[in-house]
Structure 1
Amino acid sequence: MLDDLVDMPAMVMGRRMDVLAWNTAAAALFGDYAPPHRAERDIARITFLDETSRDLYADWTSCARANVAYLHMDAGRHPEDPLLASLIGELSMKSEDFRRWWAEHPVQDKTSGTKRFHHPVVGGLELAYETLRATDDPDQALITYAAERGSPSDDALRMLLAWAAEVPSPMPADDRAR
């Protein structure tokens, strides 16, 4: 299904914000999700520990704070999760911003909205995102990103997708089979 969404970046996110699967357009927008270790495929970890995310998100602070609020929500739902506790501990140790915002105890789901990007290939983009969850597996979410038709962001996204079409899919074969 992800490969069929050729006109929009899309990914499947697990409840700890781990990236479970993604399409070529998502890799073009966000970067390669195929690092050597699966634990590194985590949106919260990337947001707080990868300096390039501060450049990619036009409003990094808002995105980062939303990620903290989402992790708080997940911690409330799954208080005994050792992997989540480990992620929160790691981010608390390595990021002063995360530690400060975690202490504020925000709680919020990620459902829909708009994000602005400063992409290194195509420049500014404003994309609407939608989060879709299956009722029988709410711990996984499909997140899609789309530009308003006819907008400068639509032109930039189309240019990015044309550029990405020339690059083979970055998802390792074992993940594509999921």
Structure 2
Amino acid sequence: MLPMPAFVEGRYLDVLAANPLATALSPRLVVGGNRLRDVFLDPAEQAMFPDFEAAAAGLVAGFRQAVGTATDDPRCIELVGELSSPARSSGDCGPATTCARGPARWCPSTTRRSASCASTGRSC
């Protein structure tokens, strides 16, 4: 076992492997979890970041880079849809992301997917 926390994530920030030290630091780092979902939807996970805004921006940037132009991939659509769900919305784009204004909030336009805030009638 590595003497330090380590985990492996896939293209969509799904946790593919994690050692016990990583899970001890963040209980959400378990196989089958999704770092993007956890950071945006779990207040306990958000509290682990001293600068949540920067962490959220970094995760969204990494997600965008990993997805590239594959925005029609079913996993991408599923994840963006879950994070963009009106049921999770708090008045604008959703529960959390990096929209141009205000605190980190999830906004589907950050993934360059065709279902942007403008097309959903929400404002960023």
Q: TM-score range by the shorter chain?
A: 0.5 to 0.7
Percent sequence identity over aligned pairs: 31
Structure 1 residue 98: deviation in Å? 2.4
Cα RMSD (Å): 2.5
**Superposed CA offset, 1:124-150 (max 9, x none):** xxxxxxxxxxxxxxxxxxxxxxxxxxx
**Superposed CA offset, 1:12-38 (max 9, x none):** 100100000000100111115448xx3
Q: Contact (CA 8 Å) 1:53, 1:60: kept in 2 or not? A: no
2:86 corresponds to 1:90: no
**3-state SS, counterpart of residue 96 of structure 1:** coil
**Superposed CA offset, 1:44-75 (max 9, x none):** 00000111012111111111111111222233
Greater than 6 Å deviation, 4+ residue runs: none
Counterpart among 30, 35, 43 of residue 43 in structure 1 = 35
TM-score by length of 1: 0.49
Letter in 2 for 1:53: E
| Equivalent residue, structure 1, for 2:20 | 24
Cα 1:85–1:15 shift into 2, 3 Å = same
Give the count of matched residue pairs.
99
Q: Contact (CA 8 Å) 1:92, 1:98: kept in 2 or not? A: no
Instruction: Compare relative contact order (CA 8 Å, sep 6+) and give the higher one, 1 or 2.
Output: 1
| Equivalent residue, structure 2, for 1:57 | 49
Unaligned regions of 5+ residues in structure 2, if any?
89-93, 100-104, 113-124
Cα 1:99–1:89 shift into 2, 3 Å = farther
Larger Rg: 1
Unaligned regions of 5+ residues in structure 1, if any?
108-178
**3-state SS, counterpart of residue 13 of structure 2:** coil
